[in-house]
Structure 1
Amino acid sequence: MTDESPLLDVENLWVRFQTRSGVFDAVRGISFTLGRERLGIVGESGSGKSMTGRAALRLIRPPGMIEADKLEIHGEDILSLPERRMRKLRGGRVSMVMQDPKFSLNPVMSIGQQLVESLRAHEAVSRSAARKRAIEVLDEVAIRDPERVFDLYPHEVSGGMGQRIMIAMMLLPNPEILIADEPTSALDVSVQLQVLDIMDKLVRDRGMGLMFISHDLNLVAKFCDRIAIMYAGRIVETCKASELGQAKHPYTLGLLNSVPDLEHPRDRLEVLQRDPAWREAPSVSARQ
């Protein structure tokens, strides 16, 4: 695998759920690649963003089903890998930061215990070496006094610090891919900027690939290199972040026109006029 090869390569991905009324398609035939870059996946709630991130790590459980012509991480076909190998891959070469750290961290274990266990699950290191590495990574994600925070419990930290701790936990095994699912949605603006600065530095310094899942088009446009717009389980448009102003799909245009303009305030924001036919529109490839 060369440096030019994608870290994550997805072709014709479907995520389906068997229900009493039939099969529901949550993700509908999408294709994209992720290199050593920041790829933003944007869409409203229910568009299939989080399902896409979970499918990339084969975290969809029955009655959910994953189908794809290609779903490869570092050139490995993850749909054919045994579960034992997938557990090594998850949290090792690929990590995922969930939306709310308060529900991702174990409330009865200290921060340090969870960090140490996370590292030792993927590497054969002593507890003392794992502790040293954990404190170093806490410092790397801009946590003050990391040795003190190491001994705290999740209820003793703020939401912003909890999110940075989750990022630290995912970074311990030095992954090449980080999937961040709405990592700033529950944070105030100043803490959002801190978290974004940390992830930006990690991508630049470590050469990681970042899949940044968000409903905030304005935020993603400023932070990411490329953007894929999702609607009703499909990627309906993809572009470089710098070219977002040239978007053509009506859904993307609707999202752009719904962003408040503080310099030119309007009495009413534009309402998206949804066309059910969009569900049947052909998907757009976000493959480079």
Structure 2
Amino acid sequence: MSENPLLRVEDLKVNFPTRKGLVEAVRGISFSLGREKLGIVGESGSGKSMTGRSILRLVSAPGQVTARRLEFDGIDLMKASESQMRQIRGQRISMVMQDPKFSLNPVMRVGEQIAEAYRTHQNVSRDEAKRQALDMLSAVRIRDSERVYRAYPHEVSGGMGQRIMIAMMLIPDPDLLIADEPTSALDVTVQLQVLAILDDLVSQRGMGLIFISHDLSLVASFCDRVVIMYAGRVMEICDAKNLAAAQHPYTRGLLNCLPKIDGGGSDLPILRRDPAWLEHGA
């Protein structure tokens, strides 16, 4: 990572006031990101997706986002106006949501949605936007891009829908892409294809990637660094290549829960939660 990170997050908190008290979804996490692939891993409810949404200030009321520092490429995102954030969203920072079927407009052809995303940030003609959209579909390895351009979301598979979403988020050429479990609903073969696309695009464009996932082994093999989250806090940050030697007891517990090929018929170990983990996070 460079000495001047693309993204700095310090003491980020996301709270939701309820009738029963304050729900702390994210509890003061800190990390930085260069032009690299950073994986965020944790159980459901650990605050992974909420962290991604809070970076883009997409947490709806009554959610409350605070941070000592939330800085992107020298821009203070906490102090940026809503009009500034509209310029940043999509053009500088893009986010791929988990399920493309719910992210794409069901009554609009997918190619027109990609072209619209480009025209939102670039003053170009419809013909130029279509040409760029077709090029982007080819860049994410979709064959017969003309046919797919004319298709509706229900006419494409889950894997192709995810590629379309990646194309839509990358067509403005952002500096940072947040991918929220982009492979969770895909089979293993398609997962590898999507990861290869992301890897190529990140290296070619020199962008940063936050890859949110439940799959610890997948993140370890794909990302440069890994952030381990538990109950809204960061437990450990380590190089992906050294993940097997991680020291935090929660990370060790997650690693021990991974199924082993030579495990025979033995039961998977149970990860017993320990309140002390919250006092010894990163």
Residue type of the partner of 2:281?
S
- What SS class does the counterpart of residue 121 from structure 1 fall into? helix
TM-superposed deviation, 1:126: 0.7
Q: Counterparts of 1:125 and 1:5 in 2: how far apart (Å)? A: 33
- What SS class does the counterpart of residue 135 from structure 1 fall into? helix
Q: Which runs of 5+ in 2 are unaligned?
A: none
Q: Within 5 Å, give how 1:1-288 maps onto structure 2.
A: 4-279=3-278, 281-284=279-282
- What SS class does the counterpart of residue 221 from structure 1 fall into? helix
TM-superposed deviation, 1:74: 1.0
Residue type of the partner of 2:69?
K
- What SS class does the counterpart of residue 130 from structure 1 fall into? helix
TM-superposed deviation, 1:282: 4.3
Residue type of the partner of 2:37?
R
Residue type of the partner of 2:268?
L
Q: Counterparts of 2:266 and 2:29 in 1: how far apart (Å)? A: 37
TM-superposed deviation, 1:263: 2.5
Would the aligned equivalents of 1:227 and 1:241 in 2 still touch at CA under 8 Å?
A: yes
RMSD between superposed Cα atoms in Å: 1.0
TM-superposed deviation, 1:47: 0.2
TM-superposed deviation, 1:283: 3.5
Q: Counterparts of 1:137 and 1:191 in 2: how far apart (Å)? A: 18
Would the aligned equivalents of 1:109 and 1:153 in 2 still touch at CA under 8 Å?
A: yes
Q: TM-score, normalised by structure 1?
A: 0.96
Deviation sequence 1:108-161 (CA, Å, 0-9, x none)? 000111111111111111110000000000000000011110000000000000
Q: Counterparts of 1:12 and 1:232 in 2: how far apart (Å)? A: 15
TM-superposed deviation, 1:277: 3.2
Q: Counterparts of 1:266 and 1:74 in 2: how far apart (Å)? A: 50
Q: Counterparts of 1:216 and 1:135 in 2: how far apart (Å)? A: 32
Q: Counterparts of 1:217 and 1:261 in 2: how far apart (Å)? A: 13
TM-superposed deviation, 1:264: 3.5
- What SS class does the counterpart of residue 147 from structure 1 fall into? helix
Higher relative contact order (CA 8 A, sep 6+): 1
Q: TM-score, normalised by structure 2?
A: 0.98
Deviation sequence 1:61-107 (CA, Å, 0-9, x none)? 11101100000111100111111110110001110000000000000
TM-superposed deviation, 1:248: 1.2
- What SS class does the counterpart of residue 185 from structure 2 fall into? coil
Residue type of the partner of 1:226?
R
- What SS class does the counterpart of residue 148 from structure 2 fall into? helix
TM-superposed deviation, 1:42: 0.2
Q: Counterparts of 2:210 and 2:36 in 1: how far apart (Å)? A: 8
Deviation sequence 1:4-60 (CA, Å, 0-9, x none)? 411111011000111111111100010001111000000000000000000111111
Q: Counterparts of 2:114 and 2:201 in 1: how far apart (Å)? A: 18
Q: Counterparts of 1:68 and 1:226 in 2: how far apart (Å)? A: 22
Deviation sequence 1:181-238 (CA, Å, 0-9, x none)? 0000000000000000000001111111000000100100000000010000000011
Percent identity over the alignment?
Answer: 63
